[in-house]
Amino acid sequence: GAVVSQHPSWVICKSGTSVKIECRSLDFQATTMFWYRQFPKQSLMLMATSNEGSKATYEQGVEKDKFLINHASLTLSTLTVTSAHPEDSSFYICSARTGQQPQHFGDGTRLSIL
Amino acid sequence: GDSVTQMEGPVTLSEEAFLTINCTYTATGYPSLFWYVQYPGEGLQLLLKATKADDKGSNKGFEATYRKETTSFHLEKGSVQVSDSAVYFCALSDKGNTPLVFGKGTRLSVIA
């Protein structure tokens, strides 16, 4: 089946650091990738949608300068949390899709900012 | 806009009990419907899906039927196991290129 790899799975860093999370589709070309944020015991909140080669579309309330998304190829998208602060601590999950096929999810990245 | 409402959890069941997790949706068109499962500390896995009315999705003993008349997609399993303990998310996608809209999730705990 379709596999989406997300890296790293867990990162702890100091406040003010920028953190990059990678999302790769391993066995298919992802025309669209999505980034979600999940708070403890809550549902997934869509942050942004990115199509290969174009700028990401951010959901209302998500700071595009804070959460930089790059979708440089059909198999890779990155989310960079710039100047991270404790309130950015969360579980970030990416998903990828080709055409109108179902979305496939990565295993998530747990980000802890001290 | 589109939305998904699923029953509040947590749900605690004994092993081999029958499971139902209710899910209803609101959508302008004819969406595709999904159930995803999230095991502790992991991302989401697609459990089953249905793309049109009266379709039944099934996988690993779980089933859900797309009911257009009641706008529902309830998840059922006849006999749950401890390994089914997870959070279950109902979701819809209204058009092919739109992102999934998720319900709030239902946490299931199965005890031996």
Residues B76-110: tens digit of each pLDDT: 999 999 999 999 999 998 876 678 889 999 999 99
**Interface check B41 vs A, CB under 8 A:** yes
pLDDT in tens, A14-54: 999 999 999 999 988 988 999 999 988 788 889 999 988 88
For a pLDDT cut of 70, what percent of chain B falls above it?
97
Per-residue confidence (pLDDT) for residue B97, from 0 to 100: 65
Per-residue confidence (pLDDT) for residue B28, from 0 to 100: 84
In this complex, do A102 and B49 lie within 8 Å of one another by their Cβ atoms?
Answer: yes
Per-residue confidence (pLDDT) for residue A101, from 0 to 100: 78
**A6 min Cα distance to partner chain B (Å):** 9
Exposed, middle or buried by CB within 10 Å (0-12, 13-18, 19+), for B2?
middle
Other beta carbons within 10 angstroms of residue A67's beta carbon come to 20
A4 and A25 in contact (C-beta within 8 Å)? yes
**Alpha carbon distance A78, A20 (integer Å):** 7
A66 and A59 in contact (C-beta within 8 Å)? no
Chain A nearest-CA residue for B90: A43
Round the average pLDDT of chain A to a whole number and report it. 91
